[in-house]
Amino acid sequence: MSNRPWHLNRRTFLRGAGVSLALPFLDCMGGKKINAADAITSSVRPRRICGVYFPYGASLPGEDHELAHWRWLPRGEGRNFQFNESLKSLEPFRNDLTIFEGLSHPNGRKMGGHDTADIWLTGAEFKGGNFRNSISLDQVAAAHFGEETRYSSLTLSTDGGVGEPTRSSTLSFGRNGQPIPAHNRPRLVFDRLFGINADSMKQQRQELENSGSMLDLLLDHSKSVRKNLGNEDKAKFDEYLDSVRAIEARIDRSQRWLDIPKPEVDASALVLDADDNSPHEYIRTMYDLIFLAFQTDTTRAATYQIGNMNGATSVAGKFSELLGFPQNLHGLAHGWNKKGGAEALGKWDQYLAQQLTYFLDRLRTTPEGDGNLLDHTLVLYGSSNSNTHNNTRYPLLLAGGSRLGLKHGQFLKYSEDTPLSNLQFTMLNRLGVPTEKFVDSTGDLTEILA
């Protein structure tokens, strides 16, 4: 397959890994033949990135409000800060994280209040009915080091799929801004990451060969089709071919990894049958899957969208009620400024922070070299609203990366002049991803550089 005239550089294809056609599961594929043990014991430790998103913002009553202790943001500033009730479970990780106030995407400030989950990791501009996105932060990283792992990235969400423009059910977008479908069934995710048997390998090999043959025919036929199109249609057709070629590259990578054994992991503690009717087990299991993927060096880039911004249809909307909260997620968020609302939403924030604490603890208690997994992993956690419908001053924290040149233990405040992309640009630099700019970034956030 590699000798075809239309075959492009694989790293280019990785940047376009956001296309899903009616083919067998291909959102994985590795690069050079390297196993997890070799990677973990290498003198150059794997560097990882994880983005975790929650919808509708957080509880942010004023600092002098009677319920200010349920404020998501801490009291104080710099190193002299105190966690409020919402993030109190993260106290043991004080020196492993930084909390930010004031950062947002300038392009998001022009959008509707429920529209910005799509651009949390892209910073793209949607205007005039044009909902074309750009590549997401995790996919920039995956394009750089994705060939060293079996799966270039792992995209998870509660709702699954891609959703719809401005109500996306995925955080990940490929090279041309195509949404990458998110997986939302823990057992299927586990089987794809770690499950294998002789019969399924034989079937997968045949499916990959068949799919490759189908794409060969399609790409051959595309030459005669394209030459008869007008300029505008050629541009659309070329975009489609980019998607096809991206899948071609993913098939190629999958074939190269097929004979490399998947790592064996202990699944006894996982609740793989958890679904949206058992939210506590479900959220924990999604975090567990990311942890196992990182621990085994199965992937180094992951995203998890706990809920999307479509209040009417998101299956995650009922999580709070199932866990004993008085309203669904959308209702909690809308009621933040009503009597008792700051506390009700704050307790939901507290619950989510406890689940994040669980994930960070798994990373930090897992040795890697002379440190631990968290030391070599960047975890960006937050939302794209401050309060519901307010697209400024996102609640954000960055955890991990102490061995990647970051310093933590801070609560940093910024004006709107500093775009969120500066933080994301800094993350890419710490991951060793060569880039001069990310979206509208103006430079590093020097305050978090060691």
Do 385 and 397 lie in one domain? The reply is yes
Instruction: Tell me the pLDDT band of 45, cut-offs 50, 70 and 90.
Output: confident
Phi then psi for residue 48, to 5 deg, are -130, 155
Tokens 């890994």, residue located: 17
Does residue 370 surpass a pLDDT of 50? yes
Asked whether residue 364 is domain-assigned, the answer is: yes
Do 405 and 384 lie in one domain? The reply is yes
Asked whether residue 25 is domain-assigned, the answer is: no
In this structure, of 197-201, 361-365, 444-448, the range with the lowest mean pLDDT score is 197-201
Does residue 12 surpass a pLDDT of 70? no
Q: Which two tokens stand for residue 57?
A: 């913002």
Provide the Cα torsion 409, 413, 417, 422; round to 10°. Answer: 10
Do 3 and 105 lie in one domain? The reply is no
Instruction: Tell me the pLDDT band of 345, cut-offs 50, 70 and 90.
Output: very high
Q: What is the pLDDT of residue 33?
A: 33
- Mean pLDDT, residues 26-39 taken together: 34
Asked whether residue 440 is domain-assigned, the answer is: yes
Does residue 209 surpass a pLDDT of 80? no
Q: Which of 11-20, 83-92, 254-263 is modeled with the greatest confidence?
A: 83-92
Listed in sequence order, the DSSP H helices in 4-163 are 10-14, 36-41, 137-145
Instruction: Tell me the pLDDT band of 40, cut-offs 50, 70 and 90.
Output: very low
CA angle 113–285–398, rounded 5-degree value: 50
- Mean pLDDT, residues 80-84 taken together: 97
Do 398 and 423 lie in one domain? The reply is yes
Instruction: Tell me the pLDDT band of 9, cut-offs 50, 70 and 90.
Output: very low
Asked whether residue 176 is domain-assigned, the answer is: yes
- Mean pLDDT, residues 153-172 taken together: 95
Domain boundary (207, 238, 261) is at 261
Does residue 240 surpass a pLDDT of 70? no
DSSP codes of every residue in 221-275: HHHHHHTTS-HHHHHHHHHHHHHHHHHHHHHHHHHHHTTSPPPP---TT--TT--
- The dihedral region occupied by 102, where left means phi > 0, alpha psi between -120 and 50, and beta the remainder, is left
Domain boundary (261, 287, 309) is at 261
Do 182 and 48 lie in one domain? The reply is yes
Dist CA 107 CA 128 (whole Å): 13
Do 45 and 135 lie in one domain? The reply is yes
Do 318 and 377 lie in one domain? The reply is yes
DSSP, collapsed to helix, strand or coil, labels residue 304 as strand
> Who's near 285: CB < 8 A, 6+ residues apart?
186, 270, 271, 272, 274
Instruction: Tell me the pLDDT band of 221, cut-offs 50, 70 and 90.
Output: low
In this structure, of 18-22, 254-258, 298-302, 315-319, the range with the lowest mean pLDDT score is 18-22
* Spatial CA neighbour of 332 closest among 348, 355, 316: 348
Asked whether residue 44 is domain-assigned, the answer is: yes
Does residue 445 surpass a pLDDT of 70? yes
The more confidently predicted of residues 44 and 322 is: 322
Do 359 and 425 lie in one domain? The reply is yes
Do 283 and 414 lie in one domain? The reply is yes
Does residue 322 surpass a pLDDT of 50? yes
**What digits encode the pLDDT tens for the residues 403-442?**
999 999 999 999 999 999 999 999 999 999 999 999 999 9
Rounded to the nearest integer, the mean pLDDT of the chain is 84
Asked whether residue 373 is domain-assigned, the answer is: yes
DSSP codes of every residue in 335-375: TTTSTTHHHHHHHHHHHHHHHHHHHHHHHHTSEETTEEGGG
> Who's near 329: CB < 8 A, 6+ residues apart?
55, 56, 307, 311, 314, 316, 317, 318, 319, 320, 348
Q: Which residue range forms the structural domain that includes residue 58? A: 31-195+271-448
Q: What is the pLDDT of residue 257?
A: 65
Phi then psi for residue 228, to 5 deg, are -100, 5
* Spatial CA neighbour of 147 closest among 38, 288, 256, 275: 256
Beta strands 410-413; 97-101: pairing state: parallel
* Spatial CA neighbour of 29 closest among 431, 299, 303, 432: 299
Q: What is the pLDDT of residue 18?
A: 33
Does residue 20 surpass a pLDDT of 80? no
Do 123 and 170 lie in one domain? The reply is yes
Q: What is the pLDDT of residue 126?
A: 87
> Who's near 228: CB < 8 A, 6+ residues apart?
none
Does residue 143 surpass a pLDDT of 60? yes
- The dihedral region occupied by 9, where left means phi > 0, alpha psi between -120 and 50, and beta the remainder, is beta
Asked whether residue 133 is domain-assigned, the answer is: yes
**What digits encode the pLDDT tens for the residues 179-201?**
999 999 999 999 989 986 544 55
Q: Which two tokens stand for residue 49?
A: 């990135």
Provide the CATH number for the domain around residue 62.
Answer: 3.40.720
Q: Which two tokens stand for residue 291?
A: 């942890």
Asked whether residue 2 is domain-assigned, the answer is: yes
**What is the number of domains present in the chain?**
2
Do 122 and 212 lie in one domain? The reply is no
Domain boundary (261, 281, 305) is at 261
Q: How many residues does the chain have?
A: 450
Do 160 and 300 lie in one domain? The reply is yes
- Mean pLDDT, residues 391-399 taken together: 96
- Can you name the residues that pair with 104 across neighbouring β-strands? 419
DSSP, collapsed to helix, strand or coil, labels residue 279 as helix
